Structure 1
């Protein structure tokens, strides 16, 4: 935002405030998202207002190109879209065992997810309380987090265990300098965090599902979103497009499939495509074309594509589930993380796995070319707004309406 502070600035500027926790311990207060009432710039407010969610789909125009190119618009999205409510950040196989951890970044918020020696899941800001060095990188196993800068050491429960070279320091209580916690939960095989909730109570599975997925929770829970599917691999792509371009491409109801994905289109019955929308979720479903007995068949009989606002996609087809997480890097670049999960019965079938991943990779290459081409077009002076295809692009319109609701609220 052009005026006001970002979420991270609010967190750390006020980190010296403390609140009591159980057993008499004290820990820095993790404050809520950017202060209420801090205005966006007039320019960004105008961009938000240029899209009218009240116009019916068959008469609506798409958001203006500035939604996809303006750095100030992305800053407002980070504060009001990504850093409010539950956000998917990983999967349970990354923290399957005690002492497992992984790190991530969303906007200017660095975080670490870990499981302590007792198996309890935690999330913290990945920042040393001494002089702000990042504590951990990547993923792996640790029994504690030791700052690489000055050696301050923290337990996997966030407690400051050791502060080096502080003899002579005054008015210092190490209980005031533990890691700043972030609320964390799991739903199905997914790890979720929320940055705007300071409560410390345990998260109830059903409540988390209802908050994150709304009335789509039962549909997804009974359609193969399965914790028993082992994680096979991860692929990451840096794409030269705004994060919403990738989401829009996903949400066009199969519109682009016959034109851009010839091999994929041959395996789907596109006339069976249907789209369902819920509060913060849209689901696209499609039947697969009948396979010959000896054909390679990774798609199964039906495919389900669930989009969970704002940036998480769950694809369930045949024995596979894969997820896509679109993380904004700047206004014209994003990182998309693909995680692949497979039915246990096929774990030893390396030929099937390799062929499936190769076919999926081909689709991603085709989509990357599309998305980068769209971004270049959005940056052209020739384009301002477009139109929706009412019979197929209802999920995309739903996505844009949700963004508008967050940004104008």
Structure 2
């Protein structure tokens, strides 16, 4: 039985300077009570990513997800605008839609109440004898939803600043790549047996690359040449200058707008709490994470190409090869992060000292502590 107070454990862990930093305490990952705090104070109060806006191309296209246990629909309405709303019927509270798809109206699978794509009640059979029923007064509650740089961002919090304000420093770093113009070419959903923070931290540092990714990309990594700059309040990052071994990671030969190192710099952006983006001049890929208990994480995994490469007739063949590599890298990460979770079940599990290459992990720990300690 866990006898620790995870918040107190984390407070002590982040109270030291980075030069003395250690990994987050085990209780922060394994405690159901701590996860409940994260759901309430982080996931219910942050901007979360439901993927790329171009995944919903036409009016009626929809996807569903849960935020801190709240069922949500995201769709294109009749005017082509993005909307998010409650996925719970206003009659007997059935969940309305599942997965992804296309619908002209939203029909409850329980009693056939139907809603228009703006959330207003369109029809309710056999309700004419109830004098308290007024169709015009009933609609699905709206949830904040915006298109930020091509990402579908949603939140249950009515008061936090818009992503364009909260993540303005992201635009300052990578705005020259026009991330909003990139086109998604694949989108998948996975579920791994690890804590969501273990996977987030894995993305944030490249210290693990030579060993964890020894079968794929690890051989090209030179740890002594790496630096991890200080991050920002809402995200951390690092970047790598790529060689020509992966042509899609470089600016397209016809691109004259990018110059110097802009043409071969790969950015790794960790947008708190759980949007992880690899962005290159030619392609991008991402993970969007949702906790599913302390021991599992739901993963939205997608990616695609920049406009220059979308227009290149050879790009699809190049991207097929790249996707195969990304899948192999993802499999390696799954093995590494699931082993960390298994190791945390040991009575001997204890956090060790962090490398200078794990600065983003320490900044992430401090961000989490700042959120969970707030009432």
TM score, norm. by length of structure 2: 0.88
Shift of 1:190: 0.2
Deviations 1:141-163 (A, max 9, x none): 22210111100010111101111
> 1:282 aligned to 2:236?
yes
> RCO (CA 8 Å, sep 6+): is it higher in 1 or 2?
2
Shift of 1:43: 7.1
- The size of the alignment, in residue pairs, is 353
Alignment partner, residue 152 of structure 1: 113
Write the mapping of 1:67-78 to structure 2, written as runs, cut at 5 A.
67-78=28-39
Match of 1:115 among 57, 69, 76: 76
Match of 2:194 among 241, 244, 248: 241
Distance (whole Å) between structure 1 residues aligned to residue 34 and residue 224 of structure 2: 37
Match of 1:259 among 177, 191, 211: 211
Alignment partner, residue 361 of structure 1: 327
Alignment partner, residue 320 of structure 1: 283
Deviations 1:160-192 (A, max 9, x none): 111122132132222332101101111111011
Shift of 1:269: 5.1
Shift of 1:229: 1.9
Deviations 1:2-30 (A, max 9, x none): xxxxxxxxxxxxxxxxxxxxxxxxxxxxx
Would you say the 8 A contact 2:212–2:332 is kept in 1? yes
- Select the structure that is richer in helix: 2
Distance (whole Å) between structure 1 residues aligned to residue 192 and residue 326 of structure 2: 17
Shift of 1:325: 0.8
- Per the alignment, do residues 346 and 65 of structure 1 end up closer, same or farther by CA in structure 2, a change over 3 Å counting? farther
Deviations 1:213-263 (A, max 9, x none): 1433321323x25222221111332110000010111122x1111112133
- Per the alignment, do residues 187 and 272 of structure 1 end up closer, same or farther by CA in structure 2, a change over 3 Å counting? farther
CA RMSD in angstroms, aligned pairs only: 2.1
TM score, norm. by length of structure 1: 0.81
Shift of 1:377: 0.7
Would you say the 8 A contact 1:151–1:163 is kept in 2? yes
Alignment partner, residue 250 of structure 1: 203
Match of 1:88 among 49, 53, 59: 49
Distance (whole Å) between structure 1 residues aligned to residue 221 and residue 350 of structure 2: 33
Unaligned runs of 5+ in 1: 1-41
Shift of 1:71: 1.4
Write the mapping of 1:218-233 to structure 2, written as runs, cut at 5 A.
218-222=172-176, 224-233=177-186
Q: Any idea what SS the aligned residue of 1:218 has? A: helix
Distance (whole Å) between structure 2 residues aligned to residue 298 and residue 374 of structure 1: 32
Alignment partner, residue 254 of structure 2: none
> 1:192 aligned to 2:153?
yes
Alignment partner, residue 260 of structure 2: none
Would you say the 8 A contact 1:110–1:125 is kept in 2? yes
Alignment partner, residue 36 of structure 1: none
Unaligned runs of 5+ in 2: 251-263
Distance (whole Å) between structure 2 residues aligned to residue 72 and residue 332 of structure 1: 13
Would you say the 8 A contact 2:248–2:319 is kept in 1? no
Distance (whole Å) between structure 2 residues aligned to residue 128 and residue 405 of structure 1: 35
Distance (whole Å) between structure 1 residues aligned to residue 115 and residue 175 of structure 2: 37
> 1:163 aligned to 2:124?
yes
Q: Any idea what SS the aligned residue of 1:375 has? A: helix
